[in-house]
Structure 1
Amino acid sequence: MRIDFTKMHGLGNDFVVLDGRTGALPVVDAALAAALADRHTGIGYDQLIVLAPSDRGDFRMRIFNNDGSEVEACGNATRAIGLLHGRPASIETLGGMVATTPTDSGISVEMGKPRFDWNLIPLGYPMDTHSLPVAWEELVNPIAVNVGNPHVIFFVEDPYRIDMARLGPLIENDPLFPERINVNVATVTSRDALTLRVWERGAGLTRACGTGACATAIGAMKRGLADRKVTVALPGGPLTIEWREDDEIVMTGPATESFRGSFDAADYGISD
């Protein structure tokens, strides 16, 4: 049994897409996701995206990190799926419903509304999410927000001077975050521009993170550091984030299809 896939990326954050909307796929679990993610013995990716029929939207999207963990949301992957679908779509995710629309400047995604309550991040115990009274070395007093998945954002002088390879996993796995956390370090360069690096929960340091860009933009706006529409510069390129007056977050940016292929299911322990 051979299984078709599509390899895609959004600003260098790369995905393998398995499309089960019109035909059955094998059961995708953590072990299979981690095996396919290996860049030497598998296909290689940051996230595995599994599409399936949905009773709530046009289709459902499941998201697995390269460590095999399943997560609620991925902004870059949502843009990629919007490109693959080729027309406006309502997509069911574990983080809620999102909507994609092709535009002249890429794919626009309605990401939902930000959540700031400590138990919705979630945190291990109550505290002010606008400025958490915690620190990890030079990273202090982050803002926490859930934009379909959980994020903490630190505003620093230069995100490229932060040792994210060391501090990222330390913060991600801190007991304060019972479901782990995505870690963002950012600099506000003007009222409409930010520079950002992201340590992604379950995936590590990434060239781009769509939900991280959304969370960081919202954090800057919430603290009065930025206007309601900003450009977020990531290592892989820029994204435009708008926080509309109806509280909806809208992300716009590019997505690219890299290639298509197939793999032998038996190579990964899957039988007919």
Structure 2
Amino acid sequence: MTGKKKKTSRLGTQQYEKELRRLQIELVSMQQWVIAADARVLVIFEGRDAAGKGGAIKRVMQYLNPRHARVVALPQPTEREKGQWYFQRYIERLPTKGEIVLMDRSWYNRAGVEKVMGYCTDEEYDRFLAQVPVVEQMLVDDGIILVKYWYSVSDTEQEKRFRSRLNDPMRRWKLSDMDLQSLTRWEDYSEAKDAMFEVTDREHAPWWSIDSDDKKAARINTISHLLSQIPYRRLDPEKVHFPDRPAAAGKPRPPIDGIRFVPDHAAAL
């Protein structure tokens, strides 16, 4: 794969918000087709720490019907799960008919952090690389629409984002020892990613790389491309008739001073 020159200018906020709204409207239309067609959509989000996966997932999910779309972000496996077939806990969370599943990291943990940090044996790693193309072929053969994204962030931008989390009380939880180790193991992660792509970038389940130094552009590019991967068509919404509101029954209501209201903190601002 040949790398593309990174943009020097970033997407403006006004332009970003306008295009994001347009694309999110399309996402809602796409989901309506997924539901009507009983389609199954699985989108895998992978990449380096602080590459912007979470922000992209949030914008994809923002206006979707949560009854037919969900995010899968699994914690570390339990002792029971460690004794299972490696793919088992992921397979249990695949989409059913009419559903979109977004995986915030996936079975590719084994080819990334587990490989680099020594959390799996060489035998387990080799077995994973041998099995994952077969597993993904089975998913595609069964009719699942599989899309895989890799978020690529530069080393300077990654460190900048890590540092910005340090003094942000709302994002401090995002900064872990594992994140900081990714700074010192940059080359190791690069080698692991290249080895993973060599084996798992297949015609039936290709990797799509996203330059994510510009978060806004990465989100727009993600949604635009995702829409292009789903063979949906716009469905006309059913006509809605608002009924007339019935007249008040005239029955007495409980006294309002007997109701506990939340203190009006907003009024004191």
Structure 1-normalised TM-score? 0.27
Please state which structure has a larger fraction of its residues in helix: 2
Please state which structure has a larger fraction of its residues in strand: 1
Structure 2-normalised TM-score? 0.28
